[in-house]
Amino acid sequence: MLVPIALAVSAALAFGATAASAKAGSGAVKSAAKCATTLNTALDKKDGAGAGWLARAIACSRTNPMKAKGGAVKIGFLNPEGAVINFPEYRISAEAAVKYINTELGGIGADPATGTPGVPIKLVICKYNALAAAELGNCANTLAAAKPAVVFASLAFGDAHIKIFQDTKTPVIVGTPIFPADFTSAGVYAIGGGGGCLGVHLGLIYFATQTLKLNKVALPWAASAPGIFCYNDLEAKPLDILAGQSRSGAAITTSSKLLGTMKGLTYLPISVPTANPDVAAYAAQIMAFKPNVLVYSNQGNLCWDLMDKLIANGWTTSSFPIVFSGSCIDTATMTKLGSKINGLYTIGGMSILDPDALTGAAKSDALTYGTKMYTYSSDRKLSGTGFATQGFSAMMVLWQIASESVKAGKVTGASMVATLKATNGHRAFGSTGLFCKQAIAPYIAVCATQVSASQWDGTALKAVKTAQNFSGLALVGKGDALRTSELK
């Protein structure tokens, strides 16, 4: 199991979990009376608006768990699950979070101070095969017809759903933005930690060039439809800005202050197809290039296929640093490799897989994730993957936003959107916070661009203390044009 029993037990002890809360999945949790834990509003200044509210809710769920009652608030859930492009962990973790919210946190609008439960969340799930063009639109129509308050799109391989939801006035919440429409559409709010490609891919380049200060970059990239955009706009473009010109020699137009600050920077892009990639050939190309850093973001299995071939081609921990995105995280595979990948970095919204590497609110989130995924997940072996933390965190954030949006005893999609739009440093479970109010053109839909670095020590990912909650937005200029293809 990727969240081991030892972690779950230690987390439960740290939380002071009762026997009832440990058996929450079996229905042993019963609604309790008033919670004695008071609201500490001072936490809002330290950790962001809503931090005190969230801390009390979680604390009271341990001592005075409440079950939600009444009519459910429907949240649509759109997730790619197919033979090739497959992210079941996003859904499974979201389902686990909703069970925790409904069983122990009292649902939307619960009041721990009076012991009054709120209403439950009901996930309306539609899974689609990303390689079957019609399925994304079909799922969108199905979910819109269910009339949810909002629809959560985990990571959508396409943009057909956006217009359908706009036409039906269904607010769209994005977990991991990867297509241009996810970043640029009005009425769309990308809340996932790291801002998908925008935060993570810019973060990868920023960390490699500005933190590690390396200038010869091996750059394999995912040649899927979203990968093409994310590579061109958020990896190649910032690297060209730093170099002062594109690889083809074409001039660069940008308002970034970092234009031309790393003249002589070079990079080797390698297009990696989604199906049957020739990873052995790519590993040989990379080693022949003799980079001083490798940056890569893809599905987890493809990251580790390449890693295996790099090792077979002579890569060792002293060859050059490797910087993977959070989507590559697979703690089971990493544990098997152990010291062979010591020093490998990951960049993502925030890693909550290792409570011991964190402090304060982040540690509380990590402990909550470990125990509640252990209790409620239908497939624990997926708990240690990067998108599992995103799915769980997203539902926790939507629950909090919905609870803050209750008007006259009701919550609606419109009230949730109004709350989201005003966020400017709002506390977000398992993430660095929501800043919807600060979104810049052309990425007007992205509410979270800060990322953090972690480093593998042979047994676990540990936070890189000097590279937490940073943003790579300085690599591009405000209002810069999107780059959707290679600059000739």
How does pLDDT run across 214-229, given as a tens digit for each residue?
999 999 999 988 889 9
SS3 73: strand
| Alpha-carbon span 326 to 299, nearest angstrom | 10
User: Are 95 and 227 in a shared domain?
Assistant: no
Q: Give the tokens for residue 39.
A: 């609201």
The model's confidence at residue 465, banded by pLDDT at 50, 70 and 90, is confident
The model's confidence at residue 274, banded by pLDDT at 50, 70 and 90, is confident
User: Are 280 and 372 in a shared domain?
Assistant: no
pLDDT tens digits for range 438-447 = 898 899 999 9
CA atoms within 13 A on the CB side of 105: 26
For the chain, how many structural domains are there in total? 2
What percent of the chain stands above pLDDT 90? 72
User: Are 205 and 290 in a shared domain?
Assistant: yes
pLDDT tens digits for range 167-196 = 999 999 999 888 889 989 988 999 987 777
Beta strands in 197-348 (DSSP E): 216-222, 266-272, 293-296, 322-325, 345-348
Q: Give the tokens for residue 218.
A: 């091996």
- Residue 208, Cβ neighbours under 10 Å: how many? 26
User: Are 391 and 373 in a shared domain?
Assistant: yes
Residue 32 pLDDT: 55
User: Are 286 and 363 in a shared domain?
Assistant: no
User: Are 314 and 459 in a shared domain?
Assistant: yes
Whether pLDDT at 326 is above 90 = no
- Whether residue 150 lies inside any domain: the answer is yes
Whether pLDDT at 22 is above 50 = no
Residue 18 pLDDT: 29
Residue 196 pLDDT: 79
Q: Which domain holds residue 76?
A: 5-170+357-430
User: Are 120 and 24 in a shared domain?
Assistant: yes
- Whether residue 184 lies inside any domain: the answer is no
- Tell me the CA distances in angstroms from 311 to 298, 318, 324, 340, 358, one per residue in order: 18, 12, 15, 8, 30
User: Are 32 and 115 in a shared domain?
Assistant: yes
**pTM of the predicted structure, to 2 decimals:** 0.79
User: Are 205 and 327 in a shared domain?
Assistant: yes
- Dihedral sign for Cα 299, 84, 158, 146, please: negative
What does the mean pLDDT of the chain come to? 90
User: Are 80 and 164 in a shared domain?
Assistant: yes
